[in-house]
């Protein structure tokens, strides 16, 4: 595979750069876990890419090394670590324009600047062999200042005044918040903390914060606040008391459901005919409703009754909309 070839050649580069006396062909084949012919091809590929590979014959054996003036630089990374950094940049691409994505990009640029041009180019090809394409996500380029302010507030335990727009009604308000944690979940950023207006721990979507201003007031996260426990029952981001949920899926969706971890509490039961039943202990029924509806007629809520009724009502409205021919609506 192309990825295996690049990873092996990266290991070959590291090995040649560490050896001033050179390495024999048999030793290289053993260390790289391949045959001599594969090592020959990899050496040719490195030379073609511009790496100054030198071969010397001593005592009837051929040894390979880089010319003396060539250095790999101070690169204390394994192949897996280099790939992980490239993966990390891709994973954070939804946060492009923010301190999170910009920081890992800056770190990778510093690593590349410490390499010679040959190694830097090879590292670029190595990273391109393994890519992560983010799914649907929100854009945070315009929230750069808000995110930095929230980060400073969390790290400095300082209250922050935010201008917030609710998602359901669009109502705007100014609130004083003690931010406990910035949280990335499902392609979106959230901040969790004590909301002085409601006097409760609340979760706010960062993209709905129109502005954030640090105050001089400080706070202390309560000793009994446990982020993991607070979010443990949430199916998405809404923290509500857990309730038993059972959903039956048709055979066409069974494999899709079985292949994924939807929540730590999940239990899967295969059904006759190829279907599957998913049991959960979660809160956030509104988020569950939208998720169940994404399966169309392929999912049936067995319990709780409130969730089943909400899904049924939505499907009835959808059926009424599709009952007749499509009609254009004037604005």
CATH of the domain at 81: 1.10.10.10
CATH of the domain at 193: 2.30.30.520
Question: Does residue 293 have a pLDDT over 80?
Answer: yes
Examine the domain organization and report whether 104 and 171 are in the same domain: no
Q: Which of 74, 104, 134 is where one domain is finished? A: 134
Examine the domain organization and report whether 32 and 121 are in the same domain: yes
81, 34 contact by CB (below 8 A): no
pLDDT tens digits, one per residue of 122-148: 667 666 666 777 777 888 888 889 999
List phi, psi (to 5°) of 28. -65, -45
Examine the domain organization and report whether 101 and 11 are in the same domain: yes
Count of structural domains within the chain: 3
Examine the domain organization and report whether 52 and 122 are in the same domain: yes
At residue 301, the pLDDT reads 98
Examine the domain organization and report whether 3 and 78 are in the same domain: yes
Higher pLDDT, 278 or 91: 278
Tell me the residue length of the chain.
331
Q: Is 238 inside a domain boundary?
A: no
Examine the domain organization and report whether 114 and 69 are in the same domain: yes
Chain centroid to CA 142: 20
Examine the domain organization and report whether 209 and 289 are in the same domain: no
At residue 82, the pLDDT reads 62
Examine the domain organization and report whether 60 and 104 are in the same domain: yes
At residue 157, the pLDDT reads 94
Average pLDDT rounded to a whole number, residues 12-41: 87
Question: Does residue 304 have a pLDDT over 80?
Answer: yes
B/e letters for 229-255, b = 16+ CB within 10 Å, e = fewer, are eebbbbbbbbbeebbebbbbbbeeebe
Q: For residue 6, give its domain range.
A: 1-134
Other Cβ atoms within 10 Å of 199 Cβ, number:
8
Q: Is 185 inside a domain boundary?
A: yes
Structure tokens at 72: 């790999």
Q: Is 294 inside a domain boundary?
A: yes
Q: How far apart are CA 192 and CA 204, in angstroms?
A: 6
Q: How far apart are CA 265 and CA 279, in angstroms?
A: 8
pLDDT over 70 percentage in the chain: 85
Examine the domain organization and report whether 118 and 84 are in the same domain: yes
Q: Is 331 inside a domain boundary?
A: no
Q: Is 100 inside a domain boundary?
A: yes
pLDDT tens digits, one per residue of 174-186: 999 999 999 888 8
Q: Which of 134, 158, 180 is where one domain is finished? A: 134
pTM for the model stands at 0.70
Examine the domain organization and report whether 4 and 118 are in the same domain: yes
177, 162 contact by CB (below 8 A): yes
Q: Which of 231, 259, 293 is where one domain is finished? A: 231
């Amino acid at each position: 595979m192309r990825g295996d070839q690049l990873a092996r050649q990266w290991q070959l580069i590291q090995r040649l750069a560490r050896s001033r006396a050179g390495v024999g062909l048999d030793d290289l084949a053993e260390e790289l876990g391949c045959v001599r012919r594969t090592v020959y091809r990899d050496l040719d590929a490195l030379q073609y890419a511009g790496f100054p590979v030198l071969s010397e014959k001593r005592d009837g054996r051929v040894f390979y090394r880089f010319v003396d003036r060539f250095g790999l630089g101070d690169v204390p990374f394994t192949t897996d670590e280099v790939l992980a950094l490239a993966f990390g940049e891709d994973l954070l691409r939804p946060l492009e324009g923010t301190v999170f994505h910009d920081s890992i990009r800056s770190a990778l640029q510093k690593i590349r600047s410490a390499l010679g041009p040959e190694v830097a180019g090879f590292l670029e090809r190595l990273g391109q062999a393994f890519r992560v394409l983010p799914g649907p996500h929100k854009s945070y380029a315009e929230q750069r200042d808000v995110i930095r302010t929230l980060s400073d507030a969390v790290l400095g335990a300082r209250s922050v005044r935010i201008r917030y727009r609710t998602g359901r009604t669009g109502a705007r308000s100014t609130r004083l918040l003690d931010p406990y944690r910035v949280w990335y979940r499902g392609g979106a950023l959230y901040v969790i903390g004590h909301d002085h207006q409601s006097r409760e721990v609340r979760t706010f979507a960062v993209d709905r914060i129109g502005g954030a201003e640090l105050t001089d007031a400080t706070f202390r996260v309560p000793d009994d606040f446990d982020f993991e426990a607070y979010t443990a029952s949430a199916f998405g981001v809404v923290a509500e008391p857990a309730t038993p949920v059972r959903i039956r899926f048709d055979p066409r969706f069974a494999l899709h459901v079985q292949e994924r971890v939807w929540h730590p509490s999940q239990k899967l039961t295969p059904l006759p005919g190829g279907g599957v039943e998913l049991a959960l202990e979660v809160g956030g029924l509104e988020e569950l409703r939208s998720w169940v509806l994404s399966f169309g007629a392929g999912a049936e809520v067995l319990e709780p009754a409130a969730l089943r009724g909400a899904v049924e009502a939505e499907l009835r409205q959808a059926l009424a909309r599709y009952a007749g021919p499509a009609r254009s609506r004037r604005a």
